[in-house]
Amino acid sequence: MITPAARNRGVFPLTVRMVMIDLDGTLIDTVPDLAVAANRMLADIGRPARATALLRSWVGSGMLRFVKRSLTGEMQAEPEPKLFEQALGLFRRHYAAAVSDLSRPYPGAVDALVRLQDQGFALACITNKAESFTLPLLRNLGLSHYFKLVLSGDSLPAQKPDPLPLRYACEYFGISASQAVIVGDSANDVLAARAAGMPVICVTYGYNHGQSIRESHPDALVDSLLELPTYLQLDA
């Protein structure tokens, strides 16, 4: 289904060679494992547990900010440095031990990867999640082989919403920004795409800090990654 947002903002199908896909909230629902790790960390330091719905709204800006939000209960507040370092170490340990216990690809996500790969699109995973969690998560869920490039939040000097990961991916595949599209769930994905000069398609079911992704005005909205082939054609 092509939405009014898509019709108003661009011409479809897009002719591209490479599709970049975000991880948390777009490809995989990772909140169940993130919530368990965060609440185990909070229990270790004598803090009460956070509701999963609240933790869900804090995902998307990288691990450091997620831990800070879990400690302070606020989006941008800074916890006491020593407490933060302690909490960060605890969170890393708990999350590494169970990074894929409860996390699962969204319905239709794997089928979408198969279709895009079969149609000849180069696939890249661009996430703000740390590499030490990204790679095991993809591997454990059997998704690694779909991606010719994986860029994590600590792979480069900057992460989304900075356009650097998107530009790096284009250089890696030897293509221009106009030959790529990013698929995500948050304002960070839209901001990165705009700065990189490329189109962006967003899923309606993602995290995005509790805000409607429609407010960020992506070029198109999809209810499932299975809808992507409707929007894309291969630039041979």
Q: List residues with catalytic annotation.
A: 22
Separation CA 137–CA 28 (nearest Å): 9
Sequence-separated (6 or more) residues with CB below 8 Å from residue 11: none
Separation CA 20–CA 146 (nearest Å): 11
Radius of gyration of the chain (CA): 17
Between the alpha carbon of residue 77 and those of residues 65, 66, 158, the distances in Å are: 9, 11, 21
Q: Annotate 128-148 with DSSP letters as a single string.
A: SS-HHHHHHHHHHTT-GGG-S
Separation CA 76–CA 65 (nearest Å): 8
The structure tokens listed for 30 are: 């990772």
The structure tokens listed for 134 are: 């990204």
List, in sequence order, the alpha helices (H) in the chain: 4-9, 31-44, 52-56, 63-72, 81-97, 109-118, 131-140, 164-173, 187-196, 228-231
Peptide bond into 48 cis (omega under 30): no
